[in-house]
Amino acid sequence: MKKLRNIIIIFSSTILLNCCTTNQTGEVDDEKENSGGESTQLEYSSEYQHNLNVIYFIPSNRSPNPDYHLRLSKILLNGQNFFNSWMKHWGYGDRSFGILKNQDKKLIKIINIYGKYPNTYYPYEGGHSNIKKEIDAYFSDNPEERTSEHYLVISAVNTIDPNEVQNSDVPFYGIGGRWAYALDYPGMSIENLGASGTTGFEATKWIGGLLHELGHGLNLPHCGEKVSEKNNPSFGTSLMGGGNYTYGKTPTFLEHSSCAILNNGQLFTKTPKSFYTPNATAKILNINADSDNTNINISGTFQSNIPVTDITFYNRPENNTGGYTAMTWVGKPSNNNTFSIEMPLDEFREKGNLNYEFSIILHHENGMNTWSSYGYKFENDLPIINFGDRDEFDKSNWQIIDFSSEEISGEGSINGKAINLIDGDIETYWHSRWTNNLTNYPHHFTIDTNNSLHASGFSIAQRNGARKIKNFKIEISNNNTDWEPIYNGTLANVPGKQYIKLPETTSFRYFKFTAKSSYDQLEFAALAEIGVFKD
C-alpha cells in the first residue's frame, strides 16, 4: 500500500504560478497555484516502505533560491531513475531509493528548515554537526515527518557565480552512511547537464556531486571502474569514483558493488523489513590467496550471525586514500558460507610497483556491511600476494616479557595493553603510552615463546585504525641475551594480517619487534597481533 503524506497549503488570490513558500517551523514547502484563496490538499506518496528525508537548509542570512523545489525535484527524480537503471542492470530488480512525491506535479517532498545562525556557523569543516542538531530538533518535535534513517541536506547558496559557489564554504560530503550534504545555487538545473561551457560544467559538478554524496548517505564507499568498464561507452566512469565530474556529460554508471550494498538498503525495499539491527557479527574463518600470470585468486569461508547476500572484493591502491580508483568484484556466497573469486590482472588500471589494500566486504540482508582487510602489492606489474592463511604456531604459552611502554587507560578497558599482541584477536591492539609520560619512537616489545620454533616467517596485523607502523625490525635469540637481527622491512599501511617471509627457515625461542617509524609521522605506535608461521 502506498504511504501518503498530506500537506495543507493556504493560497492567496494574488500569488503567481510557480512561486514557493517557506516558513520558520520547517514545514514542507510546495509549489503554489492561483487557487482563489481556497486551500488545496497536496498528496505525497511512495511505493517504498522507507523514504529519503530531503531537507532544504537556509542559514539565517540566506534565502531560498528561486524555483528550488521544482529544480531539486527534477534532479532527484532523475537520480532515482539513474539508480533504478543500474539496479536492474546488475540483477537487483526494478528498485531505486524511496522518495515521497506528488505524481501530478512531479514534485518531491522537501522539508524547509531555517537555520538559527548565519552561514559562517555552518562551514564546510565541521558545520554538518551544527546543521544536524537543528534537524534533529525539528524531527524530535515532528517525529511523524521522519521517513527513514537516511537524510539528504541541501544548503541554500545565493550566488550563481561559479567561483562564489565553489567558495561557498558549506558542508558537501557524506557522513556515517546515513547523512549526505550538498548545496543548491540559483539556476542549478537538470536541463543544463551536457550544456557547453561553464554552465554545463557547473551543472555536472554540483548535480553529479549531489548524487555522489547521496551515495555516501546510502552507505556507499568510493570505488572506481575496471579497465573494461572504463573503455565501454555503456559504462564509463563510476559515480562513486570520479562520476561527480562526468554525470550527465559522459557515460557514468553505478558499480556492481555499489548496487550490492543498495540491494539491502533501507530505502530500497517495498516490503516490511527490519534494518541495521542487530549489529552484524561476522569474520573470515580462513582465506586462501594466490596469483598466476592471469588472475588473483581468492577463496575462503566466513561466519556471520546475519545472512549474507553478496560479497564484494575491494582493491584500493595505496596511493588513493579515499578509494576513488578502487576496483571491485562481486560474488555470491555458497550455502555453506564459502566464497571464491578470480580477479583478472588485465582489469587493474594501476599496477607497476604499488601497494594495495584488499578488503572482503560481507553484505548482510539487514543492510549492515562488515569489512575484513589485508595487504598485497604489485612489483613490475605482477602481484605479490603476502596474505592468506599460514600454519601458525600456537601462542597459548607465549609471554610478553618486555616492552617499551603500553597504554593502560586511554584506549579503554581492553585495548592498549601489550598482552593484546598475542591474544589471537586482531580486533584488540597494543598502543604505546600517551596519556602520561608520552613515549617516542623507537617502540619495542619482546616475546618468549617458551619453545624452540623452527620458523619460516612472521604474521603481523596492523591495527584497524590509526597509528599504523611503517618501518620495523625483528631480532631473534635463544637465550634472551644474545640477539641476532633477522629482518628489516616496511609494513603495508593497511589493516589485517601481513606475512613476512624470512630468507630461510630459522630456529629461535625469543624474538624482539622494534617499531622504527609511523605512517602518520607522529610518535605513537599501535599493533593488533603478531605470530610466527611455519611451512
CA distance 276 to 535: 42
Tell whether the model's pLDDT for residue 404 goes beyond 60. Answer: yes
Of 103-107, 385-389, 436-440, 497-501, the one with minimum mean pLDDT is 385-389
Residue 103's pLDDT is: 87
Choose between 283 and 183: higher pLDDT. Answer: 183
Averaged pLDDT, 338-366:
96
Q: Where are the beta strands (DSSP E) in 305-425?
A: 308-317, 327-331, 338-344, 354-364, 369-379, 382-384, 391-392, 399-403
Helix H segments across 279-333? none
Show the cell assigned to 151. Answer: 537524510
CA distance 274 to 458: 43
Count of alpha carbons within 13 angstroms of residue 79, beta-carbon side: 29
**CATH number of the 391-534 domain:** 2.60.120.260
Phi/psi at 164 (5° precision): -70, -40
Sequence-ordered list of residues with C-beta below 8 angstroms from that of 141, at least 6 positions apart, any chain: none
| Number of neighbouring beta carbons within 10 Å of residue 225 | 27
> What are the distances in angstroms from CA 115 to CA 121, 152, 179, 375, 387?
9, 16, 18, 45, 51
CA distance 223 to 325: 6
What string of DSSP letters covers 438-461? ---S-EEEEEEEEEEEEEEEEEEE
pLDDT band for position 496 (cuts 50, 70, 90): confident
Element (H, E) at 175: strand 174-175
Tell whether the model's pLDDT for residue 58 goes beyond 70. Answer: yes
List every span in the chain annotated with CATH 2.60.120.260. 391-534
**Closest residue by Cα to residue 474 from 436, 527, 514, 517:** 514
CA distance 219 to 201: 27
Identity at 330, one-letter amino acid code: V
- For 216-261, what is the HEC assignment? HHCCCCCCCCCHHHHCCCCCCEECCCCHHHCCCCCCEECCHHHHHH
Residue appearing with cell numbers 569489512: 371
Identity at 505, one-letter amino acid code: T
Return the percent helix, strand and coil in the chain, to nearest 5: 20, 35, 45
Q: What are the tens digits of pLDDT across the range 13-36? A: 222 223 333 333 344 444 433 222
Identity at 86, one-letter amino acid code: W
Instruction: Provide, rounded to the nearest whole percent, the portion of the chain with pLDDT above 70.
Output: 92
Residue 39's pLDDT is: 29
Phi/psi at 196 (5° precision): -80, 160
Choose between 283 and 451: higher pLDDT. Answer: 451
Residue 2's pLDDT is: 36
Mean pLDDT value across the chain: 91
Q: What are the tens digits of pLDDT across the range 232-274? A: 999 999 999 999 999 999 999 999 999 999 999 999 999 999 9
CA distance 158 to 156: 6
Averaged pLDDT, 329-355:
96
* CATH class, range 282-384: mainly beta
**Closest residue by Cα to residue 429 from 379, 383, 468:** 468
Sequence-ordered list of residues with C-beta below 8 angstroms from that of 340, at least 6 positions apart, any chain: 297, 298, 299, 300, 331
List every span in the chain annotated with CATH 2.60.40.3760. 282-384
Show the cell assigned to 348. Answer: 587493474
Choose between 512 and 8: higher pLDDT. Answer: 512
Show the cell assigned to 419. Answer: 598482552
pLDDT band for position 41 (cuts 50, 70, 90): low
> What are the distances in angstroms from CA 212 to CA 217, 262, 281?
9, 14, 29
Tell whether the model's pLDDT for residue 9 goes beyond 90. Answer: no
Tell whether the model's pLDDT for residue 298 goes beyond 60. Answer: yes
- N- to C-terminal Cα separation, the chain: 61
Tell whether the model's pLDDT for residue 131 goes beyond 70. Answer: yes
